[in-house]
Amino acid sequence: MTCMISKIEKQSILSSKTSKYNIIFQHMKHLFKQTFFQLKKNKVIFGLTIIGSALSVAGIMLLELMIQIYLNPTPPEVNKERTLIARAVQIRNGDFTTNSYYGIEGIRKIWRPLKTPELVGLIASESKVFSSVSKTSYKPSTVAYVDGNYFKILSFDFVEGRPFTENDCINKRPIAVITNKMAIKLWGHAENAVGKTILNDQTPFKVIGIVEPATMGNFVSSSDIWIPYTTSEIVMNTNDETQGIGGGISVLILAKNKADFPKIQNEIVTKCKEVEQSYPFTITPRTIDTAAGMMYNPEGWANHTTDPSAFYKKYGSLALLFLLVPAVNLLGLIFASFKKREAEISIRRAYGASIGDIISLLLRENLIITCIGGVIGLILAWLLIPLIIDFLIFHPDSSATISIWSLIKIEAIAIALIISFLLNFLCSSIPAWRVSKTPIVNSL
């Protein structure tokens, strides 16, 4: 008997659930029908509303994709979130001032002794001609002089061979890691390049590793060739006005965690003060950037601010602009299209619909329209990115690319939908409220 009752209860619960879903389904069907009827009736106005929403979503998505390209930790720069990069130091001696990268003495005396970071690596780049033994080239490639820690901080995808170590650097081994693109430039193909010889001027260097080139948005991993820093006369030079404190080296700092950034910044300022005691000039660290800072100041200019609020101010105001102008547009269009439906709304109210019901109906209808705009905007942003990426994103290697597929992520779609909701709420709530408040008698 109990079992029978329980069976009946289950069936009744099941059928009540089914009918509930059925009601929701019917309701949604009705809403879609009604929205598409309105859309057909006012093709131009709704068309413009959809295009307006699409442009707004596309504008914000472009900003979002740009930030994604700069900030997403992608190989080889997988530790972007907890990496700092120091690219400028100011040396001042009376009337003489110079802003430069760090020199080898600066690395030894200021950066190497730091206690807070997990690892400190270095990189200095220049344009230089590297030839194969059989073919002389006059076209320079980008060479990066790096240390062993550089390959520990970054995670390169080795197609063949291995990276070099700190030991290789200390022993000044004439070895090189090159990209497969560089191997093709040198020998016409990238197969079996490990073990081959390349000429740095006339000095032979043995290739020990082949890596994939860095994708767009990865600054410190962008190069054609990597060789031990100790083999470079430029990096090791200490015979200048700055006595080796300034030079051509950028410092990569891997923090144990992001929270250590301020501590590292303080430690470096203290260290510079300590080191400058033994020199006739002052040493001021400039431009120590996070990944966001790199995005704001990709060229590493010493006179640029490293204050993150400047970054948020710039991109926040751009986002507001992308939202505001289309929003003002849409507000006018939506208000006019709602106004046209005053009679229909009054009849609904006369039949008992509350103001809340009317607002909710108009908002839901408009949400469908803005969602269509959102999806179009999302597609538009992805289509536009390859066309405008060259001037949207700075990259040291102008031929660097990025796969558009790698940018298609759930977060990006979620952001587009949130913007659609926001835009819908911004542009339809006030007109819906105003229209629904119109006295029934007047409208009828």
Partner 1 sequence: MWKQLLHRIYNERKQNTWLYVELLIVLAIIWVAFNDLYKSYQLSTLPTGTNIENCWRLRIGRSVSTSIDEHPDFSQDYAAITQIMKNIRQDNAVDAIGLTVNSMPYSSNNSNISMYLAKDSLNNKKYVHGVLIRYYNKDVMRVFRCKDIHGRPLADQIPAIEKHYIIPTKSTALKMAGHTNIIDTLVTGFDNGPMPILQIAENIRYSDYEEVMDGCYEVITEKDLSEFIESEGATSNSVQVCLRMKQHMTQQDMENWLNKNKALISTSPLYINSATSFSLIKAGLNEYFVRQIKQRVFLVSFLLVCAFLGILGTFWLRTSQRRKEIGLLMAIGSSKAHIILNFIYEGLFILLCTLPLIILYIGYYITTGHLSSHEEIVIPTIITSVLSIITMSLLIIGGVLISAWSTFKIQAAEVLHDE
Tokens matching residue 147: 């240390």
Q: Measured from the CB of residue 30, what is the shortest distance to partner 1 in angstroms? A: 27
Q: Label each residue of the chain as H, E or C.
A: CHHHHHHHHHHHHHHHHHHHHHHHHHHHHHHHHHHHHHHHHCHHHHHHHHHHHHHHHHHHHHHHHHHHHHHCCCCCCCCHHHEEEEEEEEEEECCEEEEEEECHHHHHHHHCCCCCCCEEEEEEEEEECEEECCCCCCCCEEEEEECHHHHHHCCCCEEEECCCCHHHHHCCCCEEEEEHHHHHHHHCCCCCCCCCEEEECCEEEEEEEEECCCCCCCCCCCCCEEEEHHHCHHHHCCCCCCCCCEECEEEEEECCCHHHHHHHHHHHHHHHHHHHCCCCCEEEEEEEECHHHHHHCCCCCCCCCCCHHHHHHHHHHHHHHHHHHHHHHHHHHHHHHHHHCHHHHHHHHHCCCCHHHHHHHHHHHHHHHHHHHHHHHHHHHHHHHHHHHHHHCCCCCCCCCCCHHHHCCHHHHHHHHHHHHHHHHHHHHHHHHHHHCCCHHHHC
Residue nearer to partner 1 on the CB measure, 40 or 139 = 139
Q: Which of 80, 82, 109, 173 binds partner 1 (CB under 8 A)?
A: 173
- The answer to whether 386 contacts partner 1 (rule: CB under 8 A) is no
Residue nearer to partner 1 on the CB measure, 310 or 331 = 331
Q: Which of 24, 350, 383, 388 binds partner 1 (CB under 8 A)?
A: 388
CA dist., res. 407 & res. 166, Å (int): 35
Which is nearest to 106 in space by CA: 230, 246, 289?
A: 246
Q: Measured from the CB of residue 283, what is the shortest distance to partner 1 in angstroms? A: 16
The CB density around residue 145, as the number of other CB atoms within 10 Å, is 25
- The answer to whether 333 contacts partner 1 (rule: CB under 8 A) is yes
Choices 271-279, 329-337, 403-411, 417-425; region in contact with partner 1 by CB under 8 A: 329-337
Strands 83-93 and 282-289: antiparallel
Q: Which of 3, 5, 139, 277 binds partner 1 (CB under 8 A)?
A: 139
Q: Measured from the CB of residue 160, what is the shortest distance to partner 1 in angstroms? A: 24
- The answer to whether 391 contacts partner 1 (rule: CB under 8 A) is yes
- The answer to whether 51 contacts partner 1 (rule: CB under 8 A) is yes
- The answer to whether 174 contacts partner 1 (rule: CB under 8 A) is yes
Residue nearer to partner 1 on the CB measure, 144 or 253 = 144
- The answer to whether 44 contacts partner 1 (rule: CB under 8 A) is yes
* Cross-strand bridge partners of residue 247: 101
Q: Which residue has the tokens 């930030």?
A: 67
Residue nearer to partner 1 on the CB measure, 7 or 339 = 339
Q: Which of 34, 81, 98, 155 binds partner 1 (CB under 8 A)?
A: 98
Which is nearest to 254 in space by CA: 86, 102, 35?
A: 86
CA dist., res. 256 & res. 86, Å (int): 17
- The answer to whether 376 contacts partner 1 (rule: CB under 8 A) is no
Q: Which of 33, 332, 401, 409 binds partner 1 (CB under 8 A)?
A: 332
Q: Which of 31, 129, 159, 376 binds partner 1 (CB under 8 A)?
A: 129
Choices 3-11, 136-144, 177-185, 283-291; region in contact with partner 1 by CB under 8 A: 136-144
- The answer to whether 319 contacts partner 1 (rule: CB under 8 A) is no
Q: Measured from the CB of residue 204, what is the shortest distance to partner 1 in angstroms? A: 7
Residue nearer to partner 1 on the CB measure, 169 or 211 = 169
Q: Measured from the CB of residue 210, what is the shortest distance to partner 1 in angstroms? A: 22
- The answer to whether 394 contacts partner 1 (rule: CB under 8 A) is yes
- The answer to whether 442 contacts partner 1 (rule: CB under 8 A) is no
Residues ≥6 apart with Cβ < 8 Å to 33:
none
At position 423, the amino acid (one-letter code) is L
Residue nearer to partner 1 on the CB measure, 2 or 136 = 136
Q: Which of 134, 202, 257, 403 binds partner 1 (CB under 8 A)?
A: 202
Q: Which of 128, 196, 286, 364 binds partner 1 (CB under 8 A)?
A: 128
Residue nearer to partner 1 on the CB measure, 115 or 139 = 139
- The answer to whether 325 contacts partner 1 (rule: CB under 8 A) is yes
The mark string for 215-254 relative to partner 1 (x by CB under 8 A, - otherwise) is ---------------xx-xx--x-xx-------x------
- The answer to whether 136 contacts partner 1 (rule: CB under 8 A) is yes
Summarize as ranges the residues that interact with partner 1 (CB under 8 A).
44-45, 48-49, 51-52, 55-56, 59, 95-99, 126-129, 136, 138-140, 172-174, 201-204, 230-231, 233-234, 237, 239-240, 248, 299, 318, 321-322, 324-326, 328-329, 331-333, 335-336, 388, 391-392, 394
